């Protein structure tokens, strides 16, 4: 009896002690992206815990004790706890980009740190995106991502991303490269494909000013993303800061009538968040007929009903209008004659894109070993565009889903197996109508107007991809990755303007044409070794495909359907090393790659009887590209301190060497001339040497600055190497002041200068399309400035 009483007294006292003990609740997130950090270490008064999948934690608390939060790749955060009852929010500053996790790119690795990835995945955070205006993604990509370039056909439209020599995608109007659309990459925004079911990536309507995170996977990625022959670009919007409610207003003004006005509302709670962003962007242009007007509305929310489940939503409305003044000839460009192409201007050349994008995502953690992320999405676009060749209306509607299972198993004490298995499906219905343009007789001196209809097609396209990729983590920090993707594309075209020449008893071109490209198999294998938890070396081999688009396989004027066209195939071998050395001060990446793109598609023109104009063109497979190159990137943390005047001083450089040649490559511009053999010649449109260097400076007082130098080597414009785009250098700089005023106000004011050397340069080069060649950038020094103010409730 005495033992029972004694035991009861002990249990009572222990319970009273536990009940009296305070419990601190908190959340840890990445300060630069506002994303939760699961697995962060939390230490308080000698007790420790780790954050859960939502970045949340609970821990026994004592007032006035020091809370210490740490996570690999981030600076340690320390804070004295004044009130254990108050929930705490901890924002960690990244200390090393290479040791940070891959956040929005699919990965089969057990550890999602970039160091563990046997591939080149370049991350762009707010530091890189906002070094300039932050409105044009090409500013960030071209200065920070070796082996990747981004061009734009107008001030803020017609974007094209070139990854390791595969850029522009499809066949151009006079042979090898495409200058009018973007194919070969897969692009996603908040998990929603920007790339449509046909494989075309339109970015005119994307608000790059509200992007907070970019990840670029270089090379064929069929084992994770299906038809991605060149690589994958993942974009993520800025997210609401956890635990805060803010209202922000940003105003930016600049040369040539640049104006950006942005309003956002952020509501960040423990179980959910909401972000509403409205942006209005205007530009008068530095050349005739190059104005731009855009309106963006983005709404993003997430809700966590439980620790195992989360729901995300995304909606955007975009209205984009960009004028075009055409391409300059070589003589115009060399003589600084920026008057443009009068045929474009007379046709009021432009690109007008009105779009809705929406997505609903659901994530569920079934157990510690199995989780699923599924998103359904839809996109509706209404576009009209005119050029020297006429006017085109296009109204595509896309819908689809992507569902991925992440699995992680411990086979024994030394072996772990993790994998990604999923499906992505997308369907598109598009109405495409083309018109000629004719003189407006009521105003002959004004713009031309829409004339007779040239074609009217209903296009139905669909892509389906099954993929699985697994990684075996072995002793000594060695991992082996193997994956396989299986993709298909289906195309159905209904010709609603059937020309008389095809309307015969035994037609060679049907009014309804269907074709499919099936069993496009994309394997991947890779090996990775981590040394001393700071450095990794890896080797990988991957395969990807690009199927033809609807316009490649069906040309009514040709009198036949192009039934023999084959998909392009890309194969890449890559070996590299990355990590941090010199006491975590020097971040580096060195990569060698060797790629082959076979069955490259080109156009063959058919001239009229007199040989004065091209009646129509058709597509053929011509040969291969052999792309071999070296990429290097270095960042050095010369100063990193939370005391003293200087908080961060970080110089950075990156370098790309490209040796790209045509292999067994013959094609003809039109059937009236014999085919030409370009084997062994340098691939047009790729500079052999690209160099970028700069420095970031941040003070503990709020002052910050950066300077960037960019160099592009000369390069051939045509596959014969006879026409050259000259080299150029750009020097840009920005200075600003960011300060919190009390608990409720946050302000950021800045001033920037672009092209400080007043150098002539191009925004885009039209490859193999002489006499048209260049779309120039401003050749004079230009300025921008702005202020961003937030009120924190």
Would residue 14 count as lying in a domain? no
Q: How many Å apart are CA 172 and CA 722, to the nearest integer?
A: 18
Q: How many angstroms separate the CA atoms of 682 and 663, rounded? A: 10
Same-domain check for residues 74 and 122: no
Token reading at 380: 């509706």
Q: Are residues 137 and 268 in the same domain?
A: yes
Nearest to 121 by CA among 256, 37, 273, 233: 233
From the list 652, 600, 660, the residue with the least C-alpha distance to 630 is 660
Nearest to 184 by CA among 208, 161, 154: 161
CA pair distance 324, 330, nearest whole angstrom? 18
Q: 49 with 197, same domain?
A: no
**584 dihedral zone (left: phi>0; alpha: psi -120 to 50; beta):** left
- Using one digit for the tens of pLDDT, what is the confidence trace for 315-342? 999 999 999 999 999 999 999 999 999 9
Residue 18 has pLDDT above 60, yes or no: no
Is there a single domain that holds both residue 80 and residue 171?
no
**H-run or E-run covering 12:** helix 2-20
Could you read off the pLDDT of 511-557 as tens digits, one per residue? 888 899 999 999 999 999 999 889 999 999 999 999 998 888 877 66
Q: What is the 3-state secondary structure (H, E, C) of 141-177?
A: HHHHCCCEEEECCCCCCCCEEEECCECCCCCCCCCCC
| Four-point Cα dihedral 717, 184, 116, 585, nearest 10 | 30
Q: Is residue 339 part of a domain?
A: yes
pLDDT at residue number 290: 96
A 10 A CB-CB count for 336 gives 10
In this predicted structure, the answer to whether residue 686 has a pLDDT above a threshold of 80 is yes
Domain count, the chain: 2
- 50 and 198: one domain? no
State how far the Cα of 96 lies from the Cα of 109, in Å rounded to an integer.
19
In a domain, 103, yes or no: no
Confidence of residue 21 (pLDDT cuts 50, 70, 90): low
The reported pLDDT for the residue numbered 501 is 73
Mean pLDDT across 46-74? 83
Residue 20: per-residue pLDDT: 46
70 and 131 housed in the same domain: no
Strand order in the sheet with 328-329: 328-329, 772-776, 762-765
| Shared-domain flag, residues 134 and 74 | no
The pLDDT assigned to 15 comes to 46
Between the alpha carbon of residue 171 and those of residues 166, 329, 573, 622, 659, the distances in Å are 12, 21, 25, 10, 21
Q: Which CA distances in Å does 145 have to 217, 220, 374, 540?
A: 11, 17, 30, 20
Q: What are phi and psi of 650, to 5 degrees?
A: -135, 100
Inform me whether the pLDDT recorded for 96 exceeds 60: no
Residue 101 lies in a domain: no
* Pairing mode of beta strands 370-387, 390-410: antiparallel
Are residues 244 and 316 located together in one domain of the fold?
Answer: yes
pLDDT at 784: 98
SS3 category, 2: helix
* Strand 88-92 versus strand 22-30 pairing type: parallel
pLDDT at res. 9: 47
Q: What is the pLDDT of residues 309-321, one digit of tens each?
A: 999 999 999 999 9
User: pLDDT tens digits for 396-441?
Assistant: 999 999 999 999 999 998 899 999 999 999 999 999 999 999 999 9
Among residues 674, 690, 584, which one has the least CA distance to residue 635? Answer: 584
Angle of CA points 118, 529, 30, to nearest 5°: 60
Tell me 549's DSSP state: P
The whole-model pTM stands at 0.89
Does 731 reside within a domain?
A: yes
The whole-angstrom separation of Cα 654 and Cα 659 is: 17
pLDDT tens digit string along 649-680? Answer: 999 999 999 999 999 888 777 777 888 899 99
CB 326 within 8 A of CB 332: no
Question: Residue 411 belongs to what domain range?
Answer: 114-792
- State mean pLDDT over 766-776: 86
Whether the pLDDT of residue 17 is over 60: the answer is: no
Q: What integer pLDDT is reported at residue 14 of this predicted model?
A: 42
pLDDT higher for 584 or 263? 263
Taking only Cα atoms into account, the Rg of the chain, rounded to an integer number of angstroms, comes to: 28
SS3 83: coil
Task: With a cut of 80, say whether residue 615 has pLDDT above it.
Answer: no
**Judgement on whether residues 533 and 628 belong to the same structural domain of the protein:** yes
Q: Is residue 6, in this structure, part of any structural domain at all?
A: no
Q: 730 and 688 share a domain?
A: yes
In the block, tokens 């785009």 appear at 725
CATH of residue 194: 2.40.170.20
Residue 64 within a domain: yes
Of residues 40 and 731, the one with the higher pLDDT is: 731
Q: Give the pLDDT score at 592.
A: 98
Q: Is residue 265 domain-shared with residue 124, that is, in the same domain?
A: yes
Strand ranges, E, within 439-508: 449-474, 478-495
Q: What is the mean pLDDT of residues 591-615?
A: 81
Q: What is the pLDDT, as a whole number, of residue 176?
A: 45
Helix, strand, coil % over all residues of the chain, rounded to 5: 10, 60, 35
pLDDT at 613: 58
Q: Which residues of 541-553 are buried (b: 16+ CB within 10 A; e: fewer)?
A: bbbbbbbbbbbbb
* pLDDT tens, residue by residue, 117-145: 999 999 999 999 999 999 999 999 999 99
What's the pLDDT score for residue 691? 98
Which neighbouring-strand residues pair with 692?
A: 654, 710
**Beta bridge mates, 430:** 396, 459
* Structural tokens at position 417: 């197996």
- pLDDT at residue number 426: 98
79: domain CATH number is: 2.60.40.1120
pLDDT at residue number 379: 96
Instruction: Name which of 183-187, 282-286, 568-572, 610-614 the model is least confident about.
Output: 610-614
Alpha helices in 529-626 (DSSP H): 550-553
pLDDT tens string 438-495: 999 999 999 999 999 988 999 999 999 999 999 999 999 999 999 999 999 999 999 8
Higher pLDDT, 243 or 450: 450
Same domain, 379 and 274: yes
Helix (H) or strand (E) holding 280: strand 272-283
pLDDT-based confidence at residue 173 (cuts at 50, 70, 90): very low
- Do residues 226 and 752 lie in contact, with contact meaning Cβ atoms separated by under 8 Å? no
What is the predicted pLDDT for the residue at 626?
A: 95
Residue bearing the bigger pLDDT, 37 or 205: 205
The mean of the pLDDT values for the chain is 89
Which of 92, 126, 149 is a domain's end point? 92
Residue 469 lies in a domain: yes
Q: Among the three residues 92, 125, 144, which one is the final residue of a domain in this structure?
A: 92
Tens of pLDDT along 271-311? 889 999 999 999 999 999 999 999 999 999 999 899 899 99
Q: What percent of the chain has pLDDT over 70?
A: 93
- If DSSP codes are grouped into helix, strand and coil, which group holds residue 657? strand
């Amino acid at each position: 009896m005495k033992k029972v009483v004694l035991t009861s007294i002990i249990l009572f006292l222990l319970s009273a002690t536990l009940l009296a003990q305070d419990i601190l609740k908190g959340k840890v997130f990445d300060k630069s992206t506002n994303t939760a950090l699961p697995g962060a270490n939390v230490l308080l008064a000698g007790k420790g815990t780790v954050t859960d999948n939502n970045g949340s934690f609970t821990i026994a608390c004592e007032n006035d004790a020091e809370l210490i939060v740490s996570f690999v790749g981030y600076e340690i955060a320390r804070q004295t706890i004044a009130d254990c009852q108050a929930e705490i929010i901890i924002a960690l500053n990244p200390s090393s980009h290479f040791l940070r996790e891959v956040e929005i790119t699919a990965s089969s690795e057990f550890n999602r740190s970039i160091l563990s990835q046997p591939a080149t995945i370049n991350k762009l955070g707010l530091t890189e995106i906002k070094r300039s205006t932050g409105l044009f993604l090409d500013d960030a990509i071209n200065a920070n991502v070796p082996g990747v370039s981004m061009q734009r056909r107008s001030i803020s439209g017609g974007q094209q991303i070139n990854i390791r020599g595969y850029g522009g995608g499809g066949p151009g109007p006079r042979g090898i490269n495409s200058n009018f659309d973007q194919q070969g990459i897969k692009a996603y925004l908040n998990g929603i494909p920007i790339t449509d079911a046909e494989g075309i990536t339109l970015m005119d309507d994307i608000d790059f000013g509200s992007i907070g995170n970019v990840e670029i996977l270089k090379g064929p990625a069929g084992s994770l993303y299906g038809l991605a022959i060149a690589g994958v670009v993942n974009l993520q919007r800025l997210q609401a800061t956890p635990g805060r409610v803010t209202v922000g207003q940003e105003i930016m003004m600049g040369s040539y009538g640049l104006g950006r006005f942005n309003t956002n509302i952020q509501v960040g709670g423990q179980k959910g968040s909401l972000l509403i962003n409205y942006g209005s962007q205007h530009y008068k242009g530095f050349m005739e007929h190059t104005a731009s007007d855009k309106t963006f509305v983005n709404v993003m929310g997430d809700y966590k009903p439980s620790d195992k489940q989360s729901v995300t939503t995304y909606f955007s409305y975009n209205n984009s209008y960009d004028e075009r003044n055409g391409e300059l000839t070589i003589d115009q460009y060399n003589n600084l004659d920026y008057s443009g192409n009068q045929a474009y201007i007379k046709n009021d050349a432009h690109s007008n894109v009105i779009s809705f994008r929406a997505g609903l995502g659901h994530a569920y953690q079934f157990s510690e070993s199995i989780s699923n992320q599924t998103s359904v999405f839809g996109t509706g676009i209404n576009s009209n565009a005119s050029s020297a060749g006429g006017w085109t209306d296009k109204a595509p509607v896309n819908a689809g889903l992507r569902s991925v299972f992440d699995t992680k198993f411990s086979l024994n004490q030394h072996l772990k197996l993790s994998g990604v298995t999923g499906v992505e499906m997308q369907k598109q219905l598009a109405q495409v109508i083309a018109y000629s343009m004719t003189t407006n007789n009521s105003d002959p001196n004004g713009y031309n107007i829409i004339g007779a209809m040239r074609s009217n097609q209903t296009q139905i396209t669909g892509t389906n991809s099954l993929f699985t990729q697994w990684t075996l983590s072995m002793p000594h920090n060695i991992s082996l990755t193997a994956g396989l993707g299986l993709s298909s594309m289906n195309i159905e075209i209904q010709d609603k303007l059937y020309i008389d020449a095809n309307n015969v008893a035994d037609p060679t071109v049907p009014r309804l044409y269907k074709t499919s490209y099936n069993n496009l198999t994309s394997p991947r294998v890779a090996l990775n070794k981590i040394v001393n938890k700071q450095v990794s070396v890896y080797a990988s081999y991957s395969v990807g495909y690009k199927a033809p688009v609807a316009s490649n396989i069906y040309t009514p004027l040709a009198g036949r359907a192009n039934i023999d066209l084959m998909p392009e195939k890309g194969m890449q071998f890559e070996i590299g090393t990355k990590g941090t050395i010199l006491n975590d001060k020097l971040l580096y990446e060195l990569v060698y790659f060797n790629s082959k793109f076979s069955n490259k598609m080109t156009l063959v023109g058919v001239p009229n009887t007199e040989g004065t104009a091209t009646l129509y063109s058709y597509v053929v497979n011509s040969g291969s590209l052999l792309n071999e190159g070296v990429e290097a990137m270095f960042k050095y943390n010369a100063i990193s301190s939370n005391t003293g005047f200087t908080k961060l001083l970080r110089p950075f450089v990156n370098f790309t060497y490209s040796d790209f040649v045509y292999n067994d490559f013959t094609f003809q511009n039109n059937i009236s001339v014999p085919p030409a053999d370009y084997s062994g010649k340098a691939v047009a449109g790729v500079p052999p040497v690209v160099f970028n260097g700069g420095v970031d400076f941040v003070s503990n007082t709020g002052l910050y600055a950066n300077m960037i130098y960019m160099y592009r080597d000369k390069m051939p414009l045509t596959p014969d190497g006879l026409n050259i785009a000259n080299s150029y250098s750009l020097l840009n700089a920005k200075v600003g002041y960011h300060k919190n005023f009390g608990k409720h106000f946050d302000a950021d004011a800045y001033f920037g200068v672009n092209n400080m050397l007043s150098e002539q340069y191009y925004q885009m080069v039209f490859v193999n399309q002489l006499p048209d060649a260049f779309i120039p950038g401003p050749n004079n020094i230009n300025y921008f400035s702005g202020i961003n103010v937030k009120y924190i409730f």
